[in-house]
Structure 1
Amino acid sequence: MDLEDTLLMMPGPVPVAPRVLRAMSKPMINHRSAEFAGIYTDCREILADVFQTKNDIFLLSGSGTAGMEAAVGSVAGNGDKVIAIENGKFGQRFKDLAALYAEVVPLEFEWGLSVDLEKVKEKLEEGAKAITLVHNETSAGIMNPAAEIGKLAKKHDALFIMDGITSLGGDVVKVDEWGVDIAIVGSQKCIAAPPGMAAVSVSEKAFEAMNGMKKRLYYNDLKAYKKSGDKPKPETPYTPAIPLFYALQEALHIVKEEGMEARIRRHRALSEAVRTAAGAMNIEMFPQLNEYSQYSNTVTAMKSPAGINGEDIKNDMKKRGVIIAGGQEHLKSKIFRIGSMGNTTPRDVLSTIQQLEIVLKKRGYIDSVGAGTEAATCIIDRL
């Protein structure tokens, strides 16, 4: 099947608008020029609204993982303790990254299980320079309680480092109100730009914590990004991926045109439509929620129906022209995931549900098609 005819419904990368693709074909420019400074400034100004912050924002030529490493590596060194909350693949990644630079205090929960705030409080009372959290854990389809953890971090004078890679641009994120010292977003998720860029917001408290660091990162040193970003013509410390800056700027213009309130409402409605359709087909959600957590509003993680391998569902969907995601590591075959982030439309979601119903009918799990699509339509019609 031609890639142009394939519907990409995974938790990133996401489909990119034609105008964003066209933007990448612009001629190269001097990355130390006024033209580049204008692009950089424009992106930062729109991102300030996405992040809901007055903190500095920097753009890195690298994926969201580069932003994660920049965050922990810039503030934590030998002897520093970093509490790393893990309830999914990307919490595990944050833990592993922090371990390269500091003493990690792991706070591990079963993947898909809600974070226990009492245990977070206990770890913070023991003292730590920073605490890391994945706000929207796409590997398990769960939204973690960032606001509550931000309050605890502030109370115990710990830096709060948050991976907002798959929530920023698609759901409510209030960096300043929640007390997030460093927040990260990836370009290929809710912002709907091509992969390869990360944006990082950094508070004054985080910059103060960088003072006196004996060893510093080189390429992803956030102090270097601040020095370059504070110039009269803002720039990056090293040669940026100029075509990706073009694309990011255009994608952010789409975000601005839609407006964050409308964009969040759309993301929430489409994810609710997927969950409601799943319920109509007797498919169980994977995450186990408590009063402080909620289902992700950018990706839906579902348990594989009894007797059906999640990888088979993923492969069947691919044959029908829809790309969804399976489980990662020990969750492989046990769950499957449908993304609804970026510029996903109601038609995209309905097409996905229709194909999923056909797959499940052919697998003998449901007797007839239509219930899931009808249930999703009832939610989408509210938009």
Structure 2
Amino acid sequence: MPDATPEHTLLTPGPTPIHPRAMQALTRPMLGHMDPEVFALNREIQADLRVMYGTEESTFTALLAGTGSLGMEAGFANLVEAGDEVLVCANGSFGRRMAEMAARYGARVRLVTAPLGEAINPDDVAAHLDGARMVAVVHGETSTGVLNPVPEIARLVRQSGALLTVDAVTTAGMEPFHMAEWGVDYAYTGAQKCLSAPPGLAPVAISERAFARFAARRAPTPLWYCDFEGLRDYWDDHSYHHTVPVNLHYALHAALRAALDEGLENRQRRVQEVGAAIQTALAPLGFTPYVRRPEDRLPTVLALRLPEGFDDTGVRTALRERHISVTGGLGPTAGLIWRLGLMGETARPAPYLTLMHALEDILGERGLAGRFQDALAPVPA
């Protein structure tokens, strides 16, 4: 009989380790996607998503059968028509992806940019709002570990009358997100990020203003699979549209309920405490925050600049041989930073204590694990 697969320590910016309750839910027997029990489950998911996103009670929520990138594309496919002016805030890879998708659906894209490692300046957004029908921004830019000031941007956008689309892939479910209070019209995330559910679902929330814009389209949306009306027909009216991944729905439901049971404020505090302990442990080696201003740092993706002369590829390869995955930089930050995931089940002391012990062996440094444990406030393991 072959040896059991060694347990892997996954410290990446996604996917995250699957929550035990979600893992158990994956093993339940299959039901049909039109079964009354599945419709009842979906209603509970919709209600819980409203809590997670901080929406109005009437806001439409659903799961798209794809990852967060499908959530991104569905917003542009349904809410943008050829010739629309779309203002995209781009200070990293995923802001740039937004711009590319909007352009593919015929938008006239304007960019508001910021240097890598810096947040979007709301004043720059205000200066380019005139005539925009939509503004799109990434809340937590995964590629650089930057937290963009969505509440401030949202106030400006609401005054302009434009729709606001927000990528909440590395924030919703772990960081404060107040869709109704801020005035967000379309938000999405990925199941495999802060919720620690399996990849393959994109939880979305769509405002009434967004549905009004969708209803006023001059032509049907070119993306049939995620047509807003078809989604609402299935989720609210229980009519057939396409076959949804039922067992992924059960797993997402379990993980989302676990997050709400823990409490979103408790989860936010857990991220902050573990992240601070990691920085305390690694600082004597020369690791420093990549994002200069503390208020611009994304808690759920800790971006650390590597020490001078650090062998990024060699160390990460040695960690992988010990079944520990750490993610380096993306594009222009490759070889410059590490991006340590602190979402869902990754934001626990135990996996990072494993990392500290491994780094002690690989680097010949002692004291990492001790510093990490000493820095921790009482955090559940």
Name the counterpart of 2:327.
325
Name the counterpart of 2:373.
377
Cα deviation, 1:362-382, whole Å, max 9, x if unaligned, reads 4xxxxx421x43443344224
Q: TM-score, normalised by structure 1?
A: 0.91
In the alignment, structure 1 residue 350 sits paired with structure 2 residue 348: no
Contact residue 272 and residue 297 of structure 1 kept, 8 A: no
Contact residue 31 and residue 235 of structure 1 kept, 8 A: no
Pairing of 1:1-383 with structure 2 (within 5 A): 3-54=5-56, 55-101=59-105, 102-124=107-129, 126-213=130-217, 214-216=219-221, 217-231=223-237, 234=238, 237-289=241-293, 293-344=295-346, 345-359=348-362, 361-362=363-364, 368-370=365-367, 372-383=368-379
Superposed CA RMSD in Å reads: 1.9
Alpha-carbon shift at residue 2 of structure 1 (Å): 6.6
Q: Distance in 1 between matches of 2:198 and 2:220?
A: 32
1:298–1:313 Cα change, 3 Å: same
The alignment partner of 1:186 has SS state of coil
Cα deviation, 1:222-250, whole Å, max 9, x if unaligned, reads 2321233221xx46731101121111111
How many percent identity over aligned positions? 31
Q: Distance in 2 between matches of 1:105 and 1:309?
A: 39
Alpha-carbon shift at residue 190 of structure 1 (Å): 0.6
What residue ranges of structure 2 are gaps of 5+ in the alignment? none
Q: Distance in 2 between matches of 1:4 and 1:195?
A: 21
Aligned length: 371
Q: Which amino acid aligns with 2:272?
A: R
Q: Which amino acid aligns with 1:106?
A: L
Alpha-carbon shift at residue 322 of structure 1 (Å): 1.3
1:256–1:116 Cα change, 3 Å: closer
Cα deviation, 1:279-324, whole Å, max 9, x if unaligned, reads 343211112338xx42111111111221124333322221232111
Contact residue 234 and residue 241 of structure 2 kept, 8 A: yes
Alpha-carbon shift at residue 110 of structure 1 (Å): 2.3
What residue ranges of structure 1 are gaps of 5+ in the alignment? 363-367
Q: Distance in 1 between matches of 2:303 and 2:318?
A: 17
Q: Which amino acid aligns with 2:275?
A: S
Name the counterpart of 1:365.
none
Contact residue 311 and residue 336 of structure 1 kept, 8 A: no
The alignment partner of 2:250 has SS state of helix
Q: Distance in 1 between matches of 2:4 and 2:94?
A: 31
Alpha-carbon shift at residue 274 of structure 1 (Å): 2.0
Alpha-carbon shift at residue 3 of structure 1 (Å): 4.9
Cα deviation, 1:5-57, whole Å, max 9, x if unaligned, reads 21001111111133322311222212112111011111111111111112211
The alignment partner of 1:207 has SS state of helix
1:252–1:207 Cα change, 3 Å: same
Contact residue 6 and residue 323 of structure 2 kept, 8 A: no
Alpha-carbon shift at residue 272 of structure 1 (Å): 2.2
Cα deviation, 1:253-279, whole Å, max 9, x if unaligned, reads 211221222122112222222233333
